[in-house]
A = this chain, B = another copy of it.
Amino acid sequence: MDRNIAAKFIDYQVSCKDCCMANVCLPLGLSAVELDQLMKIIDRQSPMSRGEHLFQIGEPHKSLYAVRSGSIKVYIPTEGGEEQVHRFILPGELLGFDAIEGGKHTCAAVALETTSVCAFPYHRLEKLCHTFQGLDHELHRLFGKEIANEHDLLQLLAKKSAEARLASFLLDLSNRLKKRGFSEREFNLTMSRHDISNHLGLAVETVSRLFARFQNEGLLTVRRRHIQLQNMPEIKELFVNVSPTTSKRRIAPANRKGNIGGSYRLRKVKAAQV
């Protein structure tokens, strides 16, 4: 019986068809034949534990990777021990596009929790592309998606206020989790406040304060890394608002002078001084 289960487990591991991420992963949109071929080149790695690296900066590029379960932080170590957290990868998402041009990874990837990934050796993938148009097209689409993602993030960092950044981060996460069959309203963050703030180009303290404020405003409930989004429409509102740089409005303009409490005050408080 034990062996049976083990066998089943291994089988489950090996087949894309049975993988619960099949509908969001690379195999999406491939024909049965293409899928069969693709599966043959997949190199399954043994599960990684928290803190273990999938690849380090400068390592030669070998594969594109798909996360099967767990989550990964992609970051760029900078001179002076600092880092820039680039993105977080959820199950069914790919990584490793960064090294295609130069042949070496330009960033590092580390597991945030116990994580398992599928590796697609890149040279074999490219070869396969020449045989199967569908795969090549799919790969191009994924490249495009990668680029579109970066665009969004750019937009965010160039123009949005701190609150819009955090709102956007949470909504994005919520969306991606939903697509993958998880709850869109309730989830656990696998990354630290430090990682989040770094990723959003903010200070940890700011993120912490924003979480507190959002909670006070009834937008969400947060207890350490556990998040429940209570009022998604209103969170979306925050996200739409552009940054102080470009914006005219934000809050009732009439209140602005009165709102001397500073930026960390609740926005919903009726400004007594007005």
Q: Which residues of A contact B (CB under 8 A)?
A: 76, 78-80, 82, 84, 86, 97-102, 106-107, 126, 129-130, 133, 136-137, 139-148, 150-151, 153-155, 157-159, 199-203, 240, 242, 245-246
Contact status A98-B201, CB under 8 Å: no
Contact status A133-B130, CB under 8 Å: yes
Closest chain B residue to A76, Cβ basis:
B155
A203 surroundings in chain B (CB, below 8 A): 245
Partner of A245, one of B98, B142, B201: B201
Q: Complex formed: what's the CA distance from A100 to B145 in Å?
A: 8
Given known A-B contacts A136-B130, A201-B157, A201-B158, A100 and B144 have beta carbons under 8 A apart: yes
Contact status B143-A147, CB under 8 Å: yes
Listed by A's residue number, 25 A-B pairs whose Cβ atoms lie within 8 Å are A76-B151, A79-B240, A80-B242, A82-B242, A84-B155, A84-B159, A98-B144, A98-B151, A101-B147, A102-B148, A126-B136, A126-B137, A126-B140, A129-B136, A143-B143, A143-B146, A143-B147, A146-B147, A147-B150, A154-B154, A157-B158, A158-B200, A158-B201, A159-B201, A202-B245
Q: Complex formed: what's the CA distance from A197 to B190 in Å?
A: 36
Oligomer copy total: 2
A142 surroundings in chain B (CB, below 8 A): 101
Closest chain B residue to A153, Cβ basis:
B154
Contact status B159-A98, CB under 8 Å: no
Contact status A101-B201, CB under 8 Å: no
Q: Complex formed: what's the CA distance from A99 to B141 in Å?
A: 9
Given known A-B contacts A136-B126, A140-B126, A245-B201, A154 and B86 have beta carbons under 8 A apart: yes
Q: Complex formed: what's the CA distance from A158 to B97 in Å?
A: 20
Contact status B148-A147, CB under 8 Å: no
Q: Complex formed: what's the CA distance from A155 to B78 in Å?
A: 10
Q: Complex formed: what's the CA distance from A260 to B216 in Å?
A: 38
Contact status A151-B107, CB under 8 Å: yes
Closest chain B residue to A137, Cβ basis:
B126
A154 surroundings in chain B (CB, below 8 A): 84, 86, 150, 153-154, 157
Contact status A148-B98, CB under 8 Å: yes
Q: Complex formed: what's the CA distance from A242 to B147 in Å?
A: 25
Contact status B201-A145, CB under 8 Å: no
Smallest distance from the beta carbon of A240 to chain B beta carbons, Å? 8
Contact status A144-B86, CB under 8 Å: no
